[in-house]
Amino acid sequence: MKRIGIVLKVRKEKIEEYKKAHEKVWPEMKEALSRTGWHNYSLFLRDDGLLFGYFETPVDFATALKGMEKESINEKWQAAMAPYFEALGGRRADESMLELEEVFHID
């Protein structure tokens, strides 16, 4: 399993709304993530809007993203989430995720 860390930036004025939106992630979205290799997926949010995501996958990050691109629910979810993020430049949030380099893992 590969461990993937990603970052995005949530608009400060949308933080509480963003958190509420994740209290009930659509079951179809959860199923699609699982089906395409996004396991142990967690999101962490700092009070200034910095969002850190972590997941484990048997494939690389690009392949995991491509898997989700094929899922029709992903387009709907990305459209619903777009207003929450800063600096997407017309791209979807999943296209704007910045992958972080893993520098340490304790086994």
CA within 13 Å, CB half, 33: 17
Structural domain includes residue 72 = yes
Say how many domains are in the chain.
1
pLDDT tens profile 5-58:
999 999 999 999 999 999 999 999 999 999 999 999 999 999 999 999 999 999
Q: What confidence score (pLDDT) does residue 104 get?
A: 96
Q: How far apart are CA 72 and CA 96, in angstroms?
A: 19
Provide the domain limits for residue 35. Answer: 2-100
State if pTM tops 0.75: yes
Structural domain includes residue 107 = no
φ/ψ of residue 86, rounded to 5: -85, 150
Tell me which of 74-78, 87-91, 94-98 is least confident: 87-91
Q: Would you name the residues annotated as active-site residues? A: 22
Structural domain includes residue 56 = yes
Integer CA distances (angstroms), 30 to 38, 46, 47, 73, in order: 9, 23, 25, 10
Q: What confidence score (pLDDT) does residue 28 get?
A: 97
Type and span of the H or E element at 79: helix 72-81
Q: CATH number for the domain including 53?
A: 3.30.70.100
Structural domain includes residue 105 = no
Beta bridge partners of 4: 55
